């Protein structure tokens, strides 16, 4: 039997426990799957446990507890979760395994039935993980509320990178696209006030962040309170204006934002901003209006085109990424070619290509003309190749231009350090030349196409 001491710690109006095994703190390992929002929340949950006396170790090492922060965007969620549970048990057969996140909210019973899983925490409960783990010794305990009860906003920011952090500014979604389970996993759209976002951003800055990426499920819908109502007229434009005046941070980036919520006002502000970078990620999904209607998207190709054209008019060197889904029911070979032509005509810089997969409790599986899985894979390959060409073209267009670079990380083995320009061009230089977290201006003149990077001899 393992001996331990028990300490009680006050946490708000509740009491949590810290277990110390034979004079050492209990250890935990955390693995996060999915989006930037998941990483922001996972990092904050890790910080929360550390503040309660837990010691974090790498997921590949033996640990007292393994936490798996899941995603539900693709049909691979179950497979990935099972693999990570097996990995955890190989590292320590006696460890407690806790599964949290979107997949935990959607499929709690399926996860609880996986051999080795001890706790399943849904969208609300994951933020009480320290209290639950300390007080619940049962196996296969499930803490998942109805998604209708998930309406609280918990602030979060990532702290794993020495220079960049993901800042959660919004959660949930009210759109209910026919292919998407996110509203079922995260609930309705909600956010906190601008003042509270600024407070969290200041904490991220104090932790050393030089660049802050704004993240959420549907960040352009910022301004809705936890009851779903618009909060005192606050909107996403007001938020970025307020953030732009924060001291101590060099850069902001806007993560994925819906084209119908990316207004000309926002674009023009970024173009004139002191700190917001000329980099946008704007979901498209398909370049065919018929399919956009079937997906229940809130824009058409004409609106999307107008957004890209406006960005390029005021920021010619801006980097623009797009999400695309292939294999959606009813999609034809001609539709794929139409999407490819549409994107290439718009000077999009890169693509995130997703293969459509049927998701339970969504409307899309009921649509006519499903696409064979092999055909979906072939179309994914086509668009990934196009994405590679778009990225190379964008990089080549930036040659001989001068940009500021934030130096972020390095490869000790090869003695390189890496960074990104303001418009998201990846560059590298020899480690001994500069310090991490510094910003210097460089001329892009040595492009290594196969590696997708510019090498810099020296800064200006």
At 52, list the tokens: 């309660």
* pLDDT (0 to 100) of residue 168: 97
User: Counting every residue, how long is the chain?
Assistant: 460
The CATH number assigned to the domain with range 24-145 reads: 3.40.50.280
Residue 74 is predicted with a pLDDT of 67
What pLDDT is attached to residue 14?
38
The domain at 164-397 falls in which architecture?
A: Alpha-Beta Horseshoe (3.80)
Q: E-assigned strands of 333-387?
A: 350-355
Sorted by where each begins, the domain ranges of the chain are: 24-145, 164-397, 402-455
Cα(146)–Cα(99) distance, integer angstroms: 17
Report the pLDDT value the prediction gives residue 424, as an integer from 0 to 100: 97
The predicted model scores a pTM of: 0.89
pLDDT at position 408 is: 84
- Tell me the backbone φ, ψ of residue 345, rounded to 5 degrees: -65, -25
Mean pLDDT by 10 residues, the chain (460 residues): 37 40 72 92 93 93 95 77 94 94 92 93 91 74 91 88 88 95 94 96 93 97 81 90 96 97 98 97 98 98 98 98 98 97 94 94 96 97 96 96 88 78 94 79 94 84
Q: Confirm if 6 and 25 have CB atoms less than 8 A apart.
A: no
29/97 Cα distance (integer angstroms): 10
Backbone angles phi, psi at 366, to 5 degrees: -90, -5
Say if residues 42 and 4 touch (Cβ distance below 8 Å): no
d(CA 425, CA 398): 8
338-343: Cβ within 8 A, 24+ apart = 338/287, 338/288, 339/284, 339/286, 339/287, 339/288, 339/383, 340/287, 340/382, 340/383, 340/386, 341/287, 342/284, 342/287, 342/301, 342/305, 343/284, 343/287, 343/386, 343/390
Separation between Cα atoms, residue 231 and residue 228, nearest integer Å: 9
3-state secondary structure 178-190: CCCCHHHHHCCCE
């Amino acid at each position: 039997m393992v001996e331990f001491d028990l300490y009680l710690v006050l946490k708000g109006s509740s009491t949590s426990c810290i277990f110390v095994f034979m004079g050492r703190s209990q250890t935990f390992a955390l693995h996060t799957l999915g989006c930037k929002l998941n990483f922001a929340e996972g990092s904050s949950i890790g910080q929360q446990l550390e503040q309660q006396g837990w010691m974090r170790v790498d997921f590949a090492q033996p640990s007292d507890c393994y936490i798996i922060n899941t995603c539900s965007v693709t049909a691979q969620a179950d497979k990935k979760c099972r693999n990570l549970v097996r990995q955890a048990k190989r590292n320590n057969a006696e460890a407690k395994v806790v599964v949290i996140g979107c997949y935990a909210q959607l499929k709690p019973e399926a996860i609880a039935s996986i051999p080795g899983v001890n706790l399943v925490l849904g969208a609300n409960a994951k933020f009480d993980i320290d209290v639950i783990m300390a007080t619940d010794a049962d196996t296969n305990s499930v803490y998942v509320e109805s998604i209708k009860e998930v309406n609280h906003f918990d602030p979060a920011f990532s702290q794993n990178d020495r220079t960049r952090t993901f800042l959660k500014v919004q959660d949930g979604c009210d759109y209910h696209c026919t292919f998407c389970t996110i509203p079922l996993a995260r609930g309705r759209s909600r956010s906190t006030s601008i003042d509270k976002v600024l407070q969290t951003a200041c904490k991220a800055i104090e932790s050393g962040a030089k660049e802050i990426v704004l993240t959420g499920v549907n960040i352009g819908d910022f301004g809705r309170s936890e009851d779903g109502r618009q909060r005192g007229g606050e909107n996403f434009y007001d938020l970025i204006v307020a953030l732009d005046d924060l001291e101590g941070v060099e850069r902001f980036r806007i993560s994925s934002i819906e084209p119908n919520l990316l207004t000309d006002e926002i674009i023009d502000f970024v173009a004139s901003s002191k700190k917001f970078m000329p980099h946008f990620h704007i979901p498209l999904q398909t370049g065919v209006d018929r399919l956009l209607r079937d997906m229940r998207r809130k824009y058409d190709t004409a609106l999307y085109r107008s957004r890209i054209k406006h960005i390029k008019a005021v920021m010619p060197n801006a980097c623009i990424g797009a999400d695309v889904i292939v294999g959606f029911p009813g999609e034809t070979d001609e539709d794929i070619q139409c999407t490819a032509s549409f994107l290439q005509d718009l000077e999009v810089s890169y693509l995130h290509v997703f293969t459509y997969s049927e998701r339970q409790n969504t409307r899309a599986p009921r649509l006519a003309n499903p696409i064979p899985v092999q055909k979906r894979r072939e179309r994914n390959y086509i668009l990934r190749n196009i994405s590679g060409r778009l990225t190379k073209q964008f990089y080549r267009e930036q040659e001989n231009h001068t940009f500021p670079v934030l130096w972020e990380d390095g490869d000790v083995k090869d003695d390189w350090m890496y960074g990104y320009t303001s418009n998201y061009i990846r560059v590298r230089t020899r480690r001994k030349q500069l310090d991490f977290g510094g910003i210097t201006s460089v001329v892009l003149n040595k492009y290594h196409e196969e590696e997708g990077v510019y090498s810099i001899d020296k800064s200006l």
